[in-house]
Amino acid sequence: MSIASNHIQPCLWFDDDLEEAVRFYTAIFPNSSIDHLGSGAGEFTLDGLTFRAINGGPAFAFSQAVSFAISCADQFEVDYYWDSLADGGEESVCGWLKDRFGLSWQIVPARLYELAADPDPERALAVGRAMLGMRRIVVAELEAAADAVNRAE
């Protein structure tokens, strides 16, 4: 069996605001472009990942069952993506939010993964507990939670 192209490309179904959404997303992400817009369909690239999208009407809506995760290098990136994508949307917990179009995002600092993988299970547990109490993930608060375990010993 021969397959001409084997990459996965997300396809997003918007009610009737495809063009507004595409302009919103491409303004936020670096290395982005609007590749094609017209006739209720479009193709755009966000930081090198190509998306297809359609204005499909109100029959389907986004849900949290599918989300896009952004791994952020530092708190500056977390804050940038959080503020940009949450604008007009809805903040949730543990680094999750829905943007103004209803698409779910996870804004996660790389440091969370490092701290959650700490070989000391008490430190890792403290980091997890701290994250559960956050909306936007704050690296300094995660680190403080981990360091508090060391001070308690």
Query: Which residue's entry shows tokens 């017209």?
Result: 38
Task: Specify the DSSP class assigned to residue 12.
Answer: E
- Read off the pTM: 0.91
What domains lie within the chain, and their CATH numbers?
Answer: 9-61 (3.10.180.10), 62-153 (3.10.180.10)
Residue 127 host element (H or E):
helix 121-132
- Find residue 46's DSSP bridge partners: 49
Written as tens digits, the pLDDT of the chain (153 aa) is 555 556 889 999 999 999 999 999 999 999 999 999 998 999 999 999 999 999 999 999 999 999 999 999 999 999 999 999 999 999 999 999 999 999 999 999 999 999 999 999 999 999 999 999 999 999 999 999 999 997 655
